[in-house]
């Protein structure tokens, strides 16, 4: 669908291109199975489509989403190299570009927990769990870098509370139960 959207856009069929890009996002919002540097192509394509259609505000928002995830992936590399404080600063900068990214909140929560900053970690765990159901598509799996998002008693306790509340509010939403 992403390649179809790209082809349609480059052939001036932007309305159809937008439909294809939005359908791709609904199915798998982040291209979660792709490796770092190769995700959220649908958002990048939709940004170009919206710019072509003259909606620069949405195009800018979508470009910020793409930049945010790319910056978080770079932060993952800094973390792997042991540069924890720099990685945390990069995750925080990433959230300044797109504050509602569950995957970045999850990464930052894990990092804050590792640094012993449990109060800050708790805020980010909670926000990550609240955002997850709305950001999972039909094919979504946890993003790379989020594997530890449920690790430990503290994280699991927060998750249980958040997901129990969400299940009561939206019992027919399968992503909450997933």
Q: Which two tokens stand for residue 8?
A: 């349609």
Reduce the DSSP state of residue 81 to 3 states and report it: coil
Q: What is the predicted pLDDT for the residue at 109?
A: 92
Q: What sign does the CA torsion over 49, 139, 96, 72 have?
A: negative
Give the pLDDT confidence of 73-99 residue by residue, as tens digits. Answer: 899 899 889 898 899 999 999 999 998
> What pLDDT band is residue 27 in, cutting at 50, 70 and 90?
confident
User: pTM of the entire structure?
Assistant: 0.78
């Amino acid at each position: 669908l992403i390649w179809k959207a790209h082809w349609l856009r480059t052939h001036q069929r932007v309305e159809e291109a937008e439909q294809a890009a939005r359908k791709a996002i609904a199915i798998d919002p982040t291209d979660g199975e792709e490796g770092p540097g190769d995700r959220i192509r649908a958002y990048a394509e939709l940004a170009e489509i919206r710019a072509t259609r003259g909606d620069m505000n949405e195009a800018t928002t979508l470009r910020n989403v793409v930049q945010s995830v790319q910056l978080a992936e770079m932060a993952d590399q800094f973390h792997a190299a042991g540069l924890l404080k720099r990685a945390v600063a990069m995750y925080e900068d990433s959230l300044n570009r797109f504050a509602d990214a569950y995957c970045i909140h999850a990464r930052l929560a894990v990092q804050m927990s590792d640094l012993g900053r449990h109060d800050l970690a708790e805020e980010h765990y909670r926000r990550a769990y609240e955002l997850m159901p709305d950001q999972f598509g039909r094919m979504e799996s946890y993003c790379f870098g989020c594997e530890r998002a449920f690790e430990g008693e503290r994280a699991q306790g927060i998750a249980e509370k958040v997901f129990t509340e969400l299940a009561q509010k939206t019992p027919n939403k399968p992503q909450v139960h997933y």
